[in-house]
Amino acid sequence: MSNAQSHAHHGHAHHDGPYDEEFLLLNKRFYLNEEEYDWVEVTDKISGLESFFHRGRQRLLLDLVKKYGQPPYLDCGCGTGLMLRHLPAGSAGVDINPRNLPKAQRRAHRSSVVQADIENLPFGPGSISTIVMTEVLEHFPNPDDVLARLSTALRPGGHYIGTVPSQSLIWKLRFLSRSCPAEEPFHKNYDKWELRAMLAKHFSDVKIGIGNMSMSVYFVATK
């Protein structure tokens, strides 16, 4: 078994790379072929502690979108439509997981949903005003590559709005979740200063803070 495979079969990888191409591909294949999780169902129906977390991040993101967002919107890693269903008509959502697409489209019927890899977005440079991405960046072992591509898709003055899990001790209880997948190849909890420094390499202005009962780091990065 390769090093990449051993990471995937022993729970979450929390260490910092470097990660070779084999592991990056293995990580993508998990979401493409294996991951099964319906964020909307878990959020709208109380199914465990994670339901309150998802409700909190949904509320937090909607407040940020209302304050900073402008159309056209792109929900990157839209999943089963948790945020996309609240965005204006004409918004777009992308997700690499083909099983998520029909659920997201049904719940966000005024938007378009496309299967796509965030690192290879089917949108031209400078074509998006607001990118929304909640609890997605932490699944990438190569976040700098992802941020560079997102910045390219944004128009000058556009906003990248999102959240990642914080380093709150509450996350030590994640094993209590009854529905959250524990077999992900990679998952990272961020310190807000680390995240700010990373975003600042790709965006001209970064607003950042802690919210959602201290479980989320939220950010608004402006190109």
Question: What domains appear along the chain, each with residue ranges and CATH number?
Answer: 3-222 (3.40.50.150)
Task: Tell whether the model's pLDDT for residue 126 goes beyond 70.
Answer: yes
Distance CA 205, CA 222 (A): 5
**What pTM value is reported for the model?**
0.88
Render pLDDT for 52-70 as a digit per residue (tens, 0 to 9). Answer: 888 989 999 999 999 999 9
- List strand residue ranges (DSSP E) for 177-215, in order: 205-211
Distance CA 215, CA 211 (A): 6
Task: Tell whether the model's pLDDT for residue 37 goes beyond 80.
Answer: yes
Cis amide leading into 125 (omega within 30): no
Task: Tell whether the model's pLDDT for residue 175 goes beyond 70.
Answer: no
Buried b (16+ CB within 10 A) or exposed e, 57-82: bbebbeebbeeebeebbbbbbbbbbb
Distance CA 163, CA 133 (A): 7
Distance CA 24, CA 168 (A): 26
Average pLDDT across the chain, whole number: 88
Q: What would the two tokens of residue 163 be?
A: 């959240």
C-beta of residue 160 within 8 angstroms of C-beta of residue 220: yes
